[in-house]
Amino acid sequence: MMKNYSSSPPHCNSQTPHHIRDRNNKKQPSFLCAAPLRLSLRGYGFCMATLLLFCLGSLFYQLNGGPPRILLDIRQYLGNCVKNHWSVKKATDKLLIQKDRLARQLVSCQHFHKHMRGESTYLDDHGPPAPRVLPFPSQVVYNRVGKCGSRTVVILLRLLAEKHQFNLVSSDIHNKTRLTKHEQVDLMKNISNIPQPFLYTRHVHFLNFTRFRIEQPVYINIIRDPINRFLSNYFFRRFGDWRGEQNHLIRTPGMKDDERYLDINVCILENYPECSNPRVFYIIPYFCGQHPQCREPGTWALERAKQNVVENYLLVGILEELEDVLLLLERLLPHYFTGVLEIYKSPDYKKMGNMTGTVRKHTPTLEALQVLYHRMRYEYDFYNFIRDQFHLMKKKIGLKSTAQPPAYSPAFLHELSQRTPEPLDEDEELDADLEDANSWLVQP
């Protein structure tokens, strides 16, 4: 008798379609739950690997002063110029627009053709190497005061500029020290556009760059005993120096013989304009600035000049101690003045330096010196202030003084001031029609 299998109860291996569907429905949620887990772990690992690579790349970039070589190689083979080249071929509907863009990029990325030939393209891809680090300060202005050793220093600067490769710009304008507002702005912009490092020198009164929102350079200067400066200038205008017997005729061709051979004592005692204020008020305006009141002898201009020296000048030396001035400049501005003393003491330079001395210079009488000193009392106040500041800086740096004795001792000058019978009126008004205080003076 045959068994009836159809009526037997269902076994585990014999499942209806409903059972199969239910089992699949039960397995499906577990698969969907596991899939996101695997994707999130993979994505997390990828993010961490990318972050690690970025950190390592940044580290190598900072330690080596540039990106890692492997990143440079990757950029070389995956440069923008290659992609732009193929984008032009594909985007035929925008060919005209892409053509101009490609032309501009191929001009700026000339490494494309080298890349196709297998040549190195690092410089073309990254541009020229970074410029050299500029020394500080890299902008120096020497608004040289006339007859205070300026020609001697300019000769040294020319030799130093060739040696140290800085830009020396020496203006040939000697008789325009005061400028209008527009002339000031134009000059300051021209100075600021000089390639750095530079040293600009000219006979010009102090320029306040910050007033016109222009970066202020560092100032340096040299002055000398006011009476000595006046005497040097007086005789230089008339008889020149040892560079040539006729150079004074070229500098002052309109000077008549009566003026050229005028006795300096007569000039001082008889109040000739050349030997009186405001013309003998000469040094302070170089440091006071372009303000009209800087031209008037008085306390305001004196204090303004002192303030500018303290705030804007790295060094103001005195000509009587020129070797110490050069030594301090070498310490403070080594990228400009290193080796300046060696050049200054060399025999070849001595031959050139001796040619700048003024000829036929002599000292006025005691009576004339008394009058001249009192007219220059503000100049001497400023000169003494600069000398004290200069000696203080030498003491701080530890330099032993090699100063020469001054031409006129303080005791002698004090005696001169006591002998002056009547002081000049400080509130004396300036003649508006007076010739420019500097136009008459053609300086070296």
- For 343-365, the pLDDT digits (tens) are 999 988 877 765 555 656 778 99
Count other Cβ atoms within 10 Å, centred on residue 134.
11
- Residue in 115, 174, 203, 205 annotated catalytic: 203
pLDDT of res. 51: 87
The confidence score (pLDDT) of residue 320 equals: 95
Decide if pLDDT at 69 tops 50: yes
**Of 83, 442, 13, 15, nearest in space to 249 by CA:** 442
Q: What's the pLDDT tens digit per position in 290-318? A: 999 999 999 999 999 999 999 999 999 99
Which of 139-153, 230-244, 264-278 is predicted least confidently? 230-244
Q: What is the pTM of this model?
A: 0.64
Average pLDDT score over residue span 55-65: 70
The pLDDT score that the predictor gives to residue 419 is: 57
Q: With a cut of 50, say whether residue 97 has pLDDT above it.
A: no
Mean pLDDT of the chain: 76
- 316-331 pLDDT, tens digit each: 999 999 999 999 999 9
Residue 417, both tokens: 């001031």
Angle, CA 345 vertex, CA 344 and CA 350 arms, to 5°: 80
Tell which wins on pLDDT, 402 or 80. 402
335 as an active site residue: the answer is no
pLDDT at residue 424 greater than cutoff 70? no
Work out whether strand 198-201 and strand 313-318 pair parallel, antiparallel, or are unpaired: unpaired
Cβ neighbors of 172 (< 8 A, separation 6 or more) are none
What is the predicted pLDDT for the residue at 111?
Answer: 47
Over residues 233-255, the mean pLDDT reads 69
Residue with tokens 């500097």: 438
